[in-house]
Amino acid sequence: MSKTKALGPSLPFFKKSLETMPRAQRRDYLERKLRGIIQHAYRHSTGFKRLLDAAGRSPGDIKTIKALEKIPITKKADLVELQKKHPPFGGWEGVPLHDLRRIYVSPGPINEPGEKEYDELGWAQAMVAAGFRPGQTAINTFSYHMVPFALNMIDNSLYRVGCITIPTGVGNTEQQVNILRTLHVDAFCGTPSFLLAIAEKAEEMGLDPGKDLCLRVGLVAAEMVPETLRSNLEERFGMVLRQSYGTADIGCLGYECLEKNGMHVPDDKLVEIVDPQTGKQLKPGEVGEIVATTFNKTYPLIRFGTGDLSQLSVAPCPCGRTSPRLMKILGRVDQVTKVRGLFVHPGQADEVASRHDPIARVQVVVRRRDHKDEMILRVELQEGTFPAEPLKEAIEKSIRDVMKVRGEVQFVPKGTIPAGAKKIDDQRTWE
């Protein structure tokens, strides 16, 4: 029997009372937390006070999730500018400086105030949902330097779950393989690409990752894991791999349970999906920007715009958790464009590509001709497949189904779409 199956259908929780709250109770719970953090931030964070005052609002105006719409969204770029003006934190710290334990520095650069006691739930909930159990030994292969992720968030969460942590950090792949083997490591925290590097190194060293190593569970973050890579890694190691989503500033915003059908929003975050242009909340199923609010009193980011696109599902999950789920991450907000009045986003281009095996790469090009929008899907085909009219028609039908706008397929030779090219190339110029 494989170790994957041995994990069984029983699904423990990290904080069952929170994770299984009925929907109305969850809303009351979150709104109570929201009112608390708004009052706290207004009183202690000069950055938030400035923002709310400039919007002509007072803390009393923000009592419900819906009322959050009255607060302007703060983006990462805004934080960078604010920190230049009001160092070191742009006024966003929610406690006096002498009450900090650490100062983190994340790419941006952004300084982040670090709390004395880490008490957030998200990553611990993610670990338990992925199958981490007390007494297991885990390697934490995220970087321990500068940023809060490995040192504060993941390390502390492993401790809270009851796991023993080996703080390996990134790199030293051969040494990591030896550690996995000699210390009988059960659990992995890191990026999917680093887990792949470990698998390859182990094989290079003459080991069979499934037999000679005993990894049972893994929580990956920082990059989304494609399904083909996930099943490859799960089979190679005989492990369960679950992914999570979050940012260094605000922590965990979503984690997969064993059902693997989207990422549950943790109970200590408030996640909205908003129209990137108006900041208004969208309904479940609609695609928009992920905007998050944390209840962290040391660093009370409120309506922080992640710049990532997704949609929420509120359909019941068989695991018993009642929180909404972030579905796939569908690309970046700055890559969203409107074609004939409809939003087109990079995730849709990927969806179209995934429906046709012969497709190797795609790129959407939007142009303007005779004062009309024109959308072209440039398609590179896999080695050994050739452009044909029926394939062109089939892809064009998928474009209509997925994107809801008409687009023309243009086959291009392999290598035409440059590496790192934007998924959506908007070539329109407006006079």
Q: Does 201 bind Zn ion (CB under 5 A)?
A: no
Q: Does 321 bind Zn ion (CB under 5 A)?
A: yes
Rounded Cα–Cα distance for residues 341 and 419 (Å): 29
Amino acid in position 138: A
Q: Which of residues 254-283 bind Zn ion (CB under 5 A)?
A: 257, 259
Size of the site for Zn ion (CB under 5 A): 5
Q: Does 287 bind Zn ion (CB under 5 A)?
A: no
Between the CA of residue 13 and those of 130, 242, 320, 330, what are the distances in Å? 10, 15, 9, 28
| Shortest reach from residue 268's CB to Zn ion, in Å | 17
Q: Find where tokens 């969850």 sit.
A: 26
DSSP state of 145: S
Q: Does 317 bind Zn ion (CB under 5 A)?
A: yes
For residue 54 the two structure tokens come to: 């400039």
| Shortest reach from residue 316's CB to Zn ion, in Å | 9
| Shortest reach from residue 389's CB to Zn ion, in Å | 44
Which residue in 333, 75, 330, 335 sits closest to 224, CA to CA?
A: 330
Q: Does 195 bind Zn ion (CB under 5 A)?
A: no
For residue 38 the two structure tokens come to: 């708004």
Task: Identify which range of 22-30, 297-305, 316-324, 338-346 contacts Zn ion by CB under 5 A.
Answer: 316-324
* Residue with smaller CB distance to Zn ion, 314 or 342: 314
| Shortest reach from residue 266's CB to Zn ion, in Å | 12
Measured on CA atoms in the order 323, 292, 221, 102, is the torsion positive or negative? negative
Characterize 257-293 residue by residue with b for buried, 16 or more Cβ atoms within 10 angstroms of its Cβ, and e for exposed: bbbeebbbbbbbbbbbbbebeebebbeeeebbbbbbb
DSSP state of 39: H
Task: Identify which range of 202-210, 313-321, 371-379, 394-402 contacts Zn ion by CB under 5 A.
Answer: 313-321
List the one residue from 202, 287, 319, 352 that touches Zn ion (CB under 5 A): 319
* Residue with smaller CB distance to Zn ion, 14 or 411: 14
Q: Which of residues 211-230 bind Zn ion (CB under 5 A)?
A: none
| Shortest reach from residue 355's CB to Zn ion, in Å | 26
Task: Identify which range of 19-27, 159-167, 226-234, 317-325 contacts Zn ion by CB under 5 A.
Answer: 317-325
* Residue with smaller CB distance to Zn ion, 201 or 325: 325
- 335: alpha, beta or left? (left if phi > 0; alpha if psi -120 to 50): alpha
* Residue with smaller CB distance to Zn ion, 166 or 257: 257
Tell me the three-class secondary structure of 235-250, residue by residue.
HHHCCEEEEEEEECCC
* Residue with smaller CB distance to Zn ion, 17 or 429: 17
Site for Zn ion, rule CB under 5 A: 257, 259, 317, 319, 321
